[in-house]
A and B are shown apart, each in its own frame.
Chain A
């Protein structure tokens, strides 16, 4: 792991600026069928984020560098990428925390089609998300007031409400990488959010969907997803809770 104490060891200057090399995986189908690494060196504040560095590269060095970002503050989940071999949000990763004395590798998240540079096709990811019905399902008349829920009932699924659909967990999952139809951690997390919601009435349906051959039972409990989640969701625990719900439902 990175030690915070190491910050600034890479050519410290009075202004806190350091020279950092970014090794970025470039792919442009309009130029070549092959992806390749390209190095960019820039002088940047060590307390800046990787996203700031990407902006600087795009604005000052190479305008063709392509990546997604919207809010740039860790809420929208657009800029998940593989930084130094780990899935992170570029807007939440400080350069000083990821050993800037060595070249910092930045590449697109794995398991999804790379369209250009760091941009991937998220459609299969959202397909799996839609498959688990990530919306409130109720029966009967709509109440005239809010649907009440106790603090305990709300706390039951609090962890999984934090998901921002950045795909960092799903694209870190070795089962998702391989040639399968596994739903992926993010879809299961969002199913968990409604399965354990006391106001929702389609938990049984969602469990049946996740009981599929490519549902929760393909999870191998490698904890990659929990490690990758930029929101600190205990993803693997949520998947295990869905498994437990499936088993206790039947026996």
Chain B
């Protein structure tokens, strides 16, 4: 929480000689509450965006439990575990549209789920509007980049690459 007390000019007031600086007629500034309405306070929002993201988190979470646990089981446990994974293994799996859809769905849901989770964390913890904006821009850029790159790979994968 922001603890700016706007007394930067009275640097000496911090310690024991505060008595000399503040009096009944000149009280110290108090810390403004976060919810104080100011000119910069955003207007109430219309629309259901937050509801849809909230619902998306629940639904994608349920689907991801199946997708991710299944993915981990296949990749790391069954059929000799992690040692079997190689170019041939991936090429063999992506020959089937089922696994293409599985991986594509997992990529999109996991990225959007994680990005939205981080978005709420940034919204909750960023103190200044500028910090919040740039952190979210960084987050969105990384998300879009990863999703697009992954999608491109899944759709254009060529097992006969040399």
Contacts and interface: CB of A to CB of B under 8 A. Distances in A.
Indicate whether A and B interact: yes
Interface of A: 29-34, 111-115, 121, 124-125, 127-128, 174-182, 184, 209, 211-213, 215, 217-218, 220, 243, 246-247, 250
Contacts of A32: 13, 18-19, 22, 28
Interface stretch (B44-52, B81-89, B101-109): B44-52
A132 B22 CA distance: 39
B138 interface: no
Contacts of A178: 1, 34, 124-125, 127
Interface string B47-72: 01111011100000000000000000
B95 interface: no
A122 to B, nearest CB: 10
B51 A33 contact: no
A174 B29 CA distance: 24
Contacts of A127: 35, 37
A124 B28 contact: no
A136 B64 CA distance: 44
A213 B51 CA distance: 9
B33 A111 contact: yes
Per DSSP, chain A at the interface is: loop
B108 to A, nearest CB: 22
Contacts of A243: 54
B14 interface: yes
A181 B45 CA distance: 12
B14 A217 contact: no
A62 B124 CA distance: 40
A181 B48 contact: no
Per DSSP, chain B at the interface is: loop
B14 A34 contact: yes
A124 to B, nearest CB: 4
B46 to A, nearest CB: 8
B5 interface: yes
Interface in B3-22: 5, 7, 10, 13-14, 18-19, 21-22
Interface residues on B, range: 35 or more
Contacts of B23: 30
Given A211-B50, A217-B54, A30 B24 contact: yes
Nearest to A124: B35
A209 B55 CA distance: 18
A128 B28 contact: no
A112 B51 contact: no
A125 B35 CA distance: 8
A174 B124 CA distance: 9
12 contacts: A29-B29, A31-B18, A33-B10, A33-B22, A34-B18, A113-B33, A114-B31, A115-B30, A179-B126, A180-B123, A181-B35, A247-B51
Nearest to B7: A33
A124 B27 contact: no
B15 to A, nearest CB: 9
B51 A217 contact: yes
B96 interface: no
A33 B54 contact: no
A127 to B, nearest CB: 7
A211 B48 CA distance: 7
B30 A113 contact: yes
B55 A213 contact: no
Contacts of A212: 44-45, 50
B55 A247 contact: yes
A108 to B, nearest CB: 11
